């Protein structure tokens, strides 16, 4: 766990250990690929390990929407309500996809109220904090803010290296530490992309029967590396653009 995400992890542990006692709801937000879904599943698994028989349901907002639509089409509203309200912990992923879906939001609003009123835990993930979610009624956003709001951030360098090392060990991949560190410096956006990079490199090495070295990694990741280098602005370009903007010569700037 990286230092930047210790708070989110601690909140998740607290919720699993004491559902509806610590933070209810727990609202977790952050960019795609940073482990929000993983955290939801971890909460569920940990709670079940602590309290056998506890009723936990994980659902994506897409699945919730489809279930709601099907319940209306098939006149099975009571079954839908039972499916989502007869739980001790409801974990709902990517709530932002309910944006603009008024009827589905209404169904979730009443589901949330029922669970909260009966001291049942709700955990929600999103790509944005509640106040930045558009297409939601104020009453819905306000409920997201009733408990604790925490974010997950991109892992720092040390954490990215640790993630790659753990992934390599779990997949029984032989990758030198200096190569893992190099990849970690090049892929900084999210965990899925980071792990995908490792698989891409080791697959290339395996298929071509070549060792995993720096030259191979640079070849496999040339698009990524080129992109990084292309985004670097040379000092001379800054000087030239500044001079042109102020209608001066380069010499006038010195």
- pLDDT (tens digit, 9 = 90+) per residue, 158-193? 888 888 888 888 888 888 888 888 888 888 777 788
**At a CB cut-off of 8 Å and minimum separation 6, what does 6 contact?**
none
The residue behind tokens 């640079």 is 218
Residue 60 to residue 126: CA distance in whole angstroms: 11
Cis peptide before 25 (omega within 30 of 0): yes
Q: What is the pLDDT of residue 228?
A: 42
Q: What is the pLDDT of residue 29?
A: 94
Q: How confident is the model at residue 35 (pLDDT cuts 50, 70, 90)?
A: confident
In the predicted model, is pLDDT for residue 22 greater than 50? yes
- The pLDDT of 109-134, averaged and rounded, is 96
Q: What is the pLDDT of residue 56?
A: 98
- Domains annotated for the chain, with CATH where assigned, are 3-151 (3.40.50.300), 157-220 (1.10.8.60)
Residues in the chain: 254
Residue 27 to residue 250: CA distance in whole angstroms: 53
Residue 161 to residue 240: CA distance in whole angstroms: 39
Beta strands in the chain (DSSP E): 26-29, 56-60, 89-93, 121-126, 148-151
Question: How does pLDDT run across 48-83, given as a tens digit for each residue?
Answer: 999 999 999 999 999 999 999 999 999 999 999 999
**At a CB cut-off of 8 Å and minimum separation 6, what does 168 contact?**
174, 175, 180, 198, 202
């Amino acid at each position: 766990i990286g230092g930047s995400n210790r708070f989110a992890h601690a909140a998740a542990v607290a919720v699993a250990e004491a559902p509806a006692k610590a933070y209810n709801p727990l609202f977790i937000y952050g960019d795609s690929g940073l482990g929000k879904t993983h955290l939801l599943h971890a909460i569920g698994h940990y709670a079940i390990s602590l309290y056998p028989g506890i009723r936990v349901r994980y659902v994506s907002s897409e699945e919730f929407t489809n279930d709601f639509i099907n319940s209306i089409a098939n006149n099975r509203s009571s079954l839908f309500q039972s499916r989502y309200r007869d739980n001790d912990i409801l974990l709902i992923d990517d709530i932002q996809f309910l944006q603009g879906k008024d009827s589905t939001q209404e169904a979730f609003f009443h589901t949330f109220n029922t669970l909260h009123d009966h001291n049942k835990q709700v955990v929600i993930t999103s790509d944005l904090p509640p106040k930045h979610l558009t297409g939601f009624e104020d009453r819905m956003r306000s409920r997201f803010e009733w408990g604790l709001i925490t974010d997950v951030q991109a892992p720092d360098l040390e954490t990215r290296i640790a993630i790659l090392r753990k992934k390599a060990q779990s997949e029984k991949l032989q990758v030198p530490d200096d190569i893992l560190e190099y990849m970690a410096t090049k892929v900084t956006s999210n965990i899925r992309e980071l792990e995908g990079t490792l698989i891409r490199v080791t697959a290339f090495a395996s298929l071509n029967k070549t060792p995993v070295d720096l030259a191979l990694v640079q070849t496999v990741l040339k698009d990524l590396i080129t992109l990084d280098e292309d985004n670097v602005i040379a000092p001379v370009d800054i000087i030239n653009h500044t001079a042109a903007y102020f209608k001066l010569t380069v010499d006038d700037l010195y």
